[in-house]
Chains A and B, each alone.
Chain A
Amino acid sequence: MSFQTVPLDRVQRRSGAVLLVGIIVLLAALAARLAYINTTLRPRLVAIASKQQQGRSVIPARRGMIFDTRGRVVALDRQVPDVFVDPALVDDVERLAAELAPRVNLPARAVADRIRRGANSRFVLIAPGVDAVTAEAVRSMGNAAVGLAERARRSYPHAETMAHVLGWVGRDGHGMEGIELAYDAHLRGRSGQRTMIRDARRRALGRLGQLPVSPVDGGHLVLTIDAEIQLIAEEALAAGVRRFEAEGGSAIVMSPKDGSVLAMVCVPTFDPNEPVTAESAAARRNRAVTDPVEPGSSFKPIITCRALEDGFVSTTERIDCHMGSHRFGRRLVKDTSPQGLLDIRGIITRSSNIGMGIIAERMGNEVLHDTLRRFGLGERTGIDCPGESSGVVYPLHRWTSYSPTSVAMGYEVLVTPLQLINAFAAIVNDGILMRPRLVRELLGSRGEVIRSLDSPRIVRRVVSSQVARYVAQDLLVSVVENGSGRRAATGPYQVLGKTGTARLVYSDRGGYEPGAYLSVFVGAAPVADPQILVLVMVRRPNPQIGYYGAAVAAPVVGEIIKRTLAYLEVPPKAKSGLASL
């Protein structure tokens, strides 16, 4: 027995030691494995870790305010509370919904559904942007699962009045239309970012991953628009549209000397505070810049300028207007008030299509085409408004022998209301075409002036000063004093202007629609030194009540001029009798 014992003990010790040392080697190999994980596999694993652990939260930048030309706030961010529910803290969904629903004016079922659908999140929006009373009612519930979160919400104090100019801001904080869209980059600023370490349920661990990036607040804007004039224009236009049972209309008030737009309204309008409730996208369109129309007779002064400038007609020449009925080629053209011989003043004052057509035929297609282009038609005015249409001036090769008579009457050419008033502004402004504008100044987030757009921007001279002055001070004054524009002279100011009545094509197909008219008037006052230029277009008035520009649009322009000049404290014209005293 003892013979065997010695080798067995030795075998046991040796094999036991070998196996245990083997285990130690195994453990050491696992330590090497750790090093391998931390070197070769590390990049991929660290990427996984940071991807799942880091959550970015946005620090919103404050959107800049918009002021009118006199510093009134017309758009600002307001902090409004959102009502939300944290489903993780809700014990009984039905009971909570029953308690919460009446306070936020929602059906209990809708609230319960919303909570259930968001059961996996910790933030279920119940009612966005509630008022203070609702907020207090929700707060008084004292339920930890229901919370109020402040959120910036764009607010427009002037609501409908400024809607088309300003546009609105979408849920994501981006400008959707108007100035809000055109200057979105300036207003929006740059949002900051905070990187937080989060647990697996996306809750912040309160530890910063990286240094936060501070937001850069948006800058402010000062418009050329005057909110008061805007209100005057909107009220007058809406009243005119209502009175003539029209489909809608546009009005623009401009300072002719520097191209500043003082007011720009469209009717019907919408509430930019609740843009999604507007009946249709059409109501949200700023038709004053997006929709080109055939301007009708209001176009005649533009042609007249060139005709006088280049001697196609003189101020004294008398043209036979064929007693209101004349054939140009095979087309029969009629005048509403038949006349025999008329000089250019008579043609404009009576708005004679025949007289104007004869002059236009003398000018020919090339000169007419060049005239339109010189007045900036067929191209965008460059106003700071998104979606501006360039209108339509056909290329010369598509013009026919009938084109001169058509263009002379304001057909075969499509202009936006803004293009039309801007062309008129050139006539009133001694023949110099300006670039219209809506924004006067760009301010930084602390109110410092970043860029002033105050200096007027001249496009070109379109007609000589003498001709422009003659057309404005003589012909267009005569229209209001003696002709079709009489109803624009409603106040103590002397007004100049031109009427226009155009037939409208069907909205869904070609051809002119019977009984569908566009009533136009463009007027300026006071005559001696025009401070404001006003355009009014009324779309599809009820022809039973009236449809001529003289009847429908001219009174609206008169009303706007009267109230605006009073607001601007422009002294009424001195009565000649008083002056001579």
Chain B
Amino acid sequence: MTLEGHNKPAQSAAVFIVAMALMAIGLVMVASTSASLDRSSFTWPLWRTPFGRQMVFVLIGFAVMIVTSRLAMPLLASPEMRRRTSQVAFVIAVACLIAALIPSLASPHRGSHRWLRLAIGGIGGMDIGFQPSELAKLAMVAIVASLLTERGADPRSFRRCFLPASIAIAVCVLLVGMEDFGTAALLAGIGVAMLFVAGCRLRHLSVLSAVGACGLTVLLYAAPYRLARLTAYKELWEDPQGKAYQPLQSLTTIASGGWLGMGLGSGVQKYGYLPESRTDFIFAVICEELGIFGGALVIGLFCALVWLGLRAMLAAPSRFERLLAFGLAATIGLQSAMNIAVVTVVTPTTGISLPLISAGGSSLLTFCLALGVLAAISARGNKMASLSLEADVPGRRVVGMARMGDATAW
């Protein structure tokens, strides 16, 4: 660890910069969308306003990201530690998901999200609670990466590798899917992608996909409003004041901005026309105020994050880290794509937030944690490449060199 000072990993710095840019855009847009006729965005005490809360989350999130990127390095270096950490995270996440299903521990509903209340009454007037489904994303990625790679696991083995990983995915998807269909679908997608990338047999994967599709269908029919959203999406222009209200308002908001936008803070749709304009639909307001170009810039930043994740995955010094990097990059990329697809009415409405931008602490801190880990993998990858040294599997020096050749050739 004495070497890190004079070999500053450029890629992890790029991750921080892109993440900061997205969080800054998010903070400004949260301030803009929380303006209303009744109050300004900046009333005192500031931490009780949406802007103030988001400001606190961004600051904490950034600290979490930096600290994680440092602390994760030794953790990732030890196979035993990363296995333990993954297991602990998974157990905590599952416990929280189950706890959130118990009414007395959960906050009242907000949309389809379940909240777990941490401190009764909150701290300093800030009501503290978090969404266990956010933590579940990280925990699932970690445990699947661990189960598919650790202790000489062979991903082609059904019993020793594929089955445990599939069960872990299924547990997360089902627990989250009780309340939040969108996030469950996202988790299922990421899980299957990780199994595929790990090198599991396609035969096993296709069976799992069939079972998963049945499961998601059951979840879909279990709650009638999910079907209603599907039909509303199909009849967009027929019922503008009823079922199709939200998707139509979302499109209206985007189109209002034109190419260059109405100007920061000048949007009108946030004044009661567009529901969830501060959280799930904040991307529409970005398009309204900053134009299609502003929206494209945000999309570009997400692409950059995925690209940096891809680079980290290619440079990862171990299979665990490679799979972890893939899982985290896929989570950020897929979730942002799903959110934007909902906002642009490519898919039906689901309650999925835009990473790093939507107002809300749980999601922000989760993604900061994820990006911190990604930055750590990236930094370790660079360092290992320069040292041509792998700590966890002795005798693989030559393989490591060959891998670098692969990466540059690709």
Contacts and interface: CB of A to CB of B under 8 A. Distances in A.
Interface stretch (B67-75, B118-126, B162-170, B337-345): B337-345
A11 interface: yes
Contacts of B344: 30, 33-34, 37
Contacts of B251: 37, 41, 45
Contact of A37 (B196, B254, B329): B254
Interface string B322-345: 110010011001101100110010
B158 interface: no
Contacts of A27: 299, 302-303, 306, 333, 336-337, 340
Contact of A30 (B272, B313, B341): B341
Contacts of A16: 197, 310, 313-314, 322-323, 326
Interface string B271-314: 11100000000000001000010011001101100110110011
A53 B274 CA distance: 12
A341 interface: no
A42 B256 CA distance: 8
A23 B334 contact: yes
B254 A34 contact: yes
A20 interface: yes
B296 A49 contact: no
Given A13-B410, A205-B271, A48 B248 contact: yes
Given A19-B197, A30-B344, A48 B306 contact: no
Contacts of B292: 34-35, 38
A46 B196 CA distance: 44
Contacts of A35: 292
A53 B270 CA distance: 11
B272 A49 contact: no
A20 B306 contact: yes
Contacts of A37: 251, 254-255, 344
Contacts of B258: 38, 42
B47 interface: no
A21 B197 CA distance: 13
Contacts of B300: 31
B319 interface: yes
B273 A53 contact: yes
A106 interface: no
A41 B344 CA distance: 11
A42 B291 CA distance: 13
Interface in B64-90: none
Interface string B229-272: 00000000100100000001001111111110000000011011
Nearest to A18: B197
B410 A17 contact: yes
A23 B302 CA distance: 10
Q: Is the interface of B mostly helix, strand, loop or mixed?
A: helix
B248 A31 contact: no
Interface residues of A, number: 44
B255 A197 contact: no
Contacts of A203: 37
Interface string A450-494: 000000000000000000000000000000000000000000000
B399 interface: yes
A467 B256 CA distance: 82
B256 A49 contact: yes
Nearest to A15: B197
A47 to B, nearest CB: 9
Given A9-B319, A12-B199, A19-B326, A200 B406 contact: no
A6 interface: yes
A467 to B, nearest CB: 78
B346 interface: yes
Contacts of B287: 34
A20 B254 contact: no
A28 interface: yes
B198 interface: yes
A5 interface: yes
A49 B287 CA distance: 14
A199 B296 contact: no
Nearest to B334: A23
B48 interface: no
B256 A20 contact: no
B218 interface: no
A46 B326 CA distance: 41
Contacts of A17: 310, 313-314, 410
A188 B313 CA distance: 77
B403 interface: yes
Nearest to B155: A8
A19 B330 contact: yes
B171 interface: no
A201 interface: yes
A141 interface: no
A10 B402 CA distance: 10
A209 to B, nearest CB: 10
Nearest to A4: B154
B193 interface: yes
Contact of B268 (A15, A26, A44, A197): A197
B407 interface: yes
A13 B407 contact: yes
B72 to A, nearest CB: 20
A140 interface: no
A2 interface: yes
Contact of B330 (A20, A53, A199): A20
Given A15-B196, A20-B333, A48-B252, A201 B272 contact: yes
A49 B269 contact: yes
Contacts of B37: 199, 203, 205
A9 B399 contact: yes
B144 to A, nearest CB: 13
Given A16-B310, A17-B410, A205-B37, A38 B399 contact: no
A45 B403 contact: no
B196 to A, nearest CB: 6
A195 B346 CA distance: 34
Contacts of B403: 9, 13
Nearest to A43: B255
Interface string B193-211: 1001111000000000000
A24 interface: yes
Nearest to B196: A15
Nearest to A35: B292
Nearest to B403: A9
B188 to A, nearest CB: 15
B341 A5 contact: no
Contacts of B303: 24, 27-28
A28 B299 contact: yes
B255 A49 contact: yes
B197 A12 contact: yes
**Which 10 residue pairs across A and B have the least CB separation, nearest first?**
A200-B272, A199-B271, A45-B255, A23-B333, A16-B326, A20-B310, A16-B197, A30-B340, A45-B252, A33-B344
10 contacts: A13-B314, A13-B322, A16-B314, A23-B330, A23-B333, A30-B337, A38-B259, A42-B255, A46-B252, A49-B269
Given A27-B306, A38-B255, 11 more contacts: A6-B399, A9-B403, A12-B319, A20-B326, A24-B307, A26-B333, A26-B337, A27-B303, A31-B295, A34-B292, A41-B255
Interface of B: 36-37, 152, 155, 193, 196-199, 237, 240, 248, 251-259, 268-269, 271-273, 287, 292, 295-296, 299-300, 302-303, 306-307, 309-310, 313-314, 319, 322-323, 326, 329-330, 333-334, 336-337, 340-341, 344, 346, 396, 399, 402-403, 406-407, 410
